[in-house]
Structure 1
């Protein structure tokens, strides 16, 4: 699979001003300094350094600000990086990209605030997601709290544990398009797990409310509903679900980087 994966790095801006960007005095959140450099640099390097990744597409509403900043201008000049201008929604921007023929599958999608993304995480995710039409990286609460007991995340409870997203997604084939379209419909409610589950039907919602579904079983059911292979990748690295979303996250990430 050397160089065969297309990576999409989400570097967009919210419709309202991001508090981290405002506090740092930068136009978009991915330019916020974390560990001495703009946060986008670390996940970008992790993707480019991984042998399975070919091209890296930076999806943003403001490609101009990255070329203009001396600390991120290297991205605009890199032969394997290209910038694409996205809209306000992740799913709608992704669907627009998929309408074109120059975005080959498989696609690995991650975010510019995934500062701790590294080779180990990518190795595991690529190995376990390979062959699936869609895969989602998650971290179980016990994995995170064993190492970072004070870290606060958004958790979804299932019969097989409490899970938090790790901001790494896999789209293995064009069969993923209907799932992305559904994601587009519920995108504004992605932090509200029950609304996402409700979109997959009343039995999935009821199963989650009664905690009779495991997350793995729920993913398999989603796959059957859409006629595809859907897979959970339970990440071994607790750092996989620590993104730079709040000042406390940045403090923790910088402490981990120093360590």
Structure 2
């Protein structure tokens, strides 16, 4: 947790992965971050939630001119993106420093309590932490929603698009993140980074998620931790048109702020 009186900084990744985004096309807007849900853009929702969670300084990593206009309208800082989420995070981390919370503009159901609870439960010794939810929680909260899961001895896990870079040492995690980012749809390649013995344990089904994340931290010389989110909705972002339909169907009461 940040010390009392420390400026709390957050970075929102709002860049584009390519010239055309299927969600933006489906919604009839030029950029996914500008998709409107319950009367406001997803980017506006995320920034408001971060303010409600007590963040003093919020920056948005975005390159598109229309998203930059929305960033200025929201009164947040604009940071030029890198070629992908990890490179954009590196630029944001250099500009904002530690501690830094990182999330994404398509986290359309983000809630202040998820953010606050996550940071409160990050171990005091951790340099970096990630929020994940179990498959059972996700399927109970979002039946029919298709997510990507990492399978370990203690269950199947899905990311919640919330990362906490607690210490300047966390900068060395970002290069490793770039490798993981490339292979996020091929979990076995991620696990292969752990080395022969952990890989064998993974194949035998005896490696836990916490052990895998701790090992990845050891590889780059930091302490890395996993925090479990009990609310499976935290794993739902808007990657596909079906995700947008699901989020919109929940209605305003489920938007969280």
Same fold (TM over 0.5): yes
Distance 1:27-1:202 versus aligned 2 partners, 3 A rule: farther
Structure 1 residues 186-239: Cα deviation after superposition (integer angstroms, max 9, x where no partner):
422222211222223233333222211110122222233333221101001111
> What does residue 87 of structure 2 align with?
92
Contact kept, 8 Å, 2:201 with 2:207, in 1: the verdict is yes
Instruction: Compute the displacement of 1:114 (Å).
Output: 0.3
Distance 1:236-1:44 versus aligned 2 partners, 3 A rule: same
Query: How far apart are the structure 2 equivalents of 1:186 and 1:143?
Result: 24
> What does residue 181 of structure 1 align with?
175
1:158-173 map, 5 Å: 158-173=152-167
Contact kept, 8 Å, 1:13 with 1:88, in 2: the verdict is no
The unaligned stretches of length 5 or more in structure 1 are none
Q: Does 1:54 align with 2:56?
A: yes
Distance 1:258-1:57 versus aligned 2 partners, 3 A rule: closer
Q: Does 1:14 align with 2:10?
A: no
Instruction: Compute the displacement of 1:130 (Å).
Output: 5.3
Contact kept, 8 Å, 2:13 with 2:88, in 1: the verdict is no
Using structure 1 for the length normalisation, give the TM-score.
0.88
Structure 1 residues 77-128: Cα deviation after superposition (integer angstroms, max 9, x where no partner):
455x200111221112222344x4x422111100001011111101111101
Instruction: Compute the displacement of 1:3 (Å).
Output: 5.8
Query: How far apart are the structure 1 equivalents of 2:122 and 2:23?
Result: 32
Query: How far apart are the structure 1 equivalents of 2:175 and 2:59?
Result: 20
The unaligned stretches of length 5 or more in structure 2 are none
Q: Does 1:123 align with 2:125?
A: no
After TM superposition, the structure 1 stretch with the greater mean CA deviation from structure 2, 132-141 or 185-194, is 185-194
Count of aligned residue pairs for this structure pair: 249
Question: Residue 132 of structure 2: SS of its match in structure 1?
Answer: strand
Contact kept, 8 Å, 1:137 with 1:234, in 2: the verdict is yes
Question: Residue 83 of structure 1: SS of its match in structure 2?
Answer: strand
CA root-mean-square deviation: 1.9
